[in-house]
């Protein structure tokens, strides 16, 4: 072998071994989410290889309890978790800081499938004042579902203090209204897709999330500030993959339904029959503040605070 060829091979070996030519280090992320369409970004990123392409090996754990997601984040059992503004606000008040690293979904009436206040079709309840003295089912009295009903009543010429609120899981709400065990329920219509249809036994009275704001950020993907400080590269990779998944999910609604059906173990027809979120990435303090203010007004937290405290410095 000629000296020139030996020198060329030696130079090539040096370049390949150098940091500039090394393969980017892969990271493993443990992600906790509530298994629903609003967490779809993570499912798309996993199924379509966006995480893989970003250099991420991901472990996705479905968790139906938001408090359990927060506990796992705090303990380090999870790196990233799905949560909502009220949950992060109450944690902040307890001195436990979680911050949004990327958004998931905003509330708008056009896409509303939560906070849907329904009554029996034959009910005499037509407006907020009619709910005084009545029993209203919500998923959590001090969560956004309960807060939004109270605020909707108070802003529509009624006194929410005169209503009785009880907690029920979403799947139990429609049967409870039909059986007369409660007078109304702030429903998630993913659990009762025909709510309000002409032949349905329930009738929609209001979309109570409107009382928080016409447009506001409900939920997003959160981390601890300590985790971001120690793993800035992993955070950047996660954000990049989720941005790609967000753009894809919004542009490919039919294909996205098939992926959601696969991971949620539901028929595609059921996924497509419901209002679907337009996925978001930008975490805007102005869209977080209305929910924080509502939580302070109704005593879920002691006082309002600036929403920027719930936003990671890495967030887009």
What is the pLDDT of the chain when averaged over all its residues?
91
For residue 294, CA distances in Å to 167, 211, 289 come to: 19, 9, 9
Q: Which residues contact 277 (CB under 8 A, 6 or more apart)?
A: 37, 38, 40, 104, 105, 106, 111
Q: Name the token pair of 152.
A: 């909707």
User: What's the CA gap between 25 and 44, in Å, rounded?
Assistant: 22
Give the model confidence (pLDDT) of 193-237 as tens digits: 889 999 999 999 999 999 999 999 999 999 999 999 999 999 999
Give the model confidence (pLDDT) of 79-121 as tens digits: 999 999 999 999 999 999 999 999 999 999 888 888 999 999 9
Token look-up 């030696």 returns 10
Give the model confidence (pLDDT) of 133-188 as tens digits: 999 999 888 888 899 999 999 999 999 999 999 999 988 999 999 999 999 999 98
Average pLDDT of span 250-255: 96
Q: For the domain 27-108+215-310, what is the CATH superfamily, name and number?
A: Periplasmic binding protein-like II (3.40.190.10)
Full-model pTM: 0.85
CATH, domain 111-211, list 3.40.50.1110, 1.10.1060.10, 3.90.1710.10, 3.40.190.10: 3.40.190.10
pLDDT confidence of residue 20: 47
Average pLDDT of span 12-20: 50
Q: With H, G, I as helix, E, B as strand and everything else as coil, classify residue 218.
A: strand
Domain with CATH 3.40.190.10 in the chain: 27-108+215-310, 111-211
pLDDT of 251 above 80: yes
């Amino acid at each position: 072998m000629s000296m020139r060829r030996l020198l060329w091979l030696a130079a090539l070996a040096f370049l390949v071994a150098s940091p500039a030519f090394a393969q980017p280090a892969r990271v493993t992320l443990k992600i906790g989410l509530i298994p629903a369409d609003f967490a779809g970004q993570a499912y798309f990123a996993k199924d379509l290889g966006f995480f893989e392409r970003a250099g991420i090996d991901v472990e996705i754990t479905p968790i139906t309890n938001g408090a359990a997601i927060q506990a796992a984040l705090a303990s380090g059992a999870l790196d990233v978790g799905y949560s909502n503004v009220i949950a992060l606000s109450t944690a902040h008040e307890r001195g436990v800081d979680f911050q949004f690293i990327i958004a998931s979904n905003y509330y708008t009436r056009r896409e509303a499938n939560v906070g849907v206040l329904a009554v029996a079709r034959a009910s005499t309840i037509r407006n907020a004042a009619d709910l005084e003295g009545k029993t209203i089912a919500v998923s959590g009295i001090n969560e956004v579902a309960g807060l939004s009903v109270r605020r909707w009543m108070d802003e529509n010429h009624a006194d929410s203090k005169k209503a009785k609120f009880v907690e029920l899981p979403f799947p139990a709400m429609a049967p409870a209204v039909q059986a007369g065990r409660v007078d109304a329920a702030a429903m998630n219509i993913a659990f009762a897709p025909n709510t309000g249809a002409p032949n349905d036994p329930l009738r929609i009275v209001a979309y109570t999330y409107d009382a928080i704001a016409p447009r506001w950020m409900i939920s997003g993907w959160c981390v601890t500030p300590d985790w971001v400080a120690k793993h800035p590269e992993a955070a950047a990779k996660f954000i990049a993959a989720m941005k790609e998944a967000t753009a894809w999910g919004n542009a490919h609604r039919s294909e996205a339904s098939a992926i959601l059906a696969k991971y949620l173990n539901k028929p595609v027809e059921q996924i497509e029959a419901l209002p679907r979120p337009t996925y978001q990435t930008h975490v805007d303090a102005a869209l977080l503040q209305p929910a924080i203010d509502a939580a302070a007004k109704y005593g879920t937290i002691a006082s309002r605070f600036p929403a920027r405290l719930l936003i990671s410095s890495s967030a887009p």
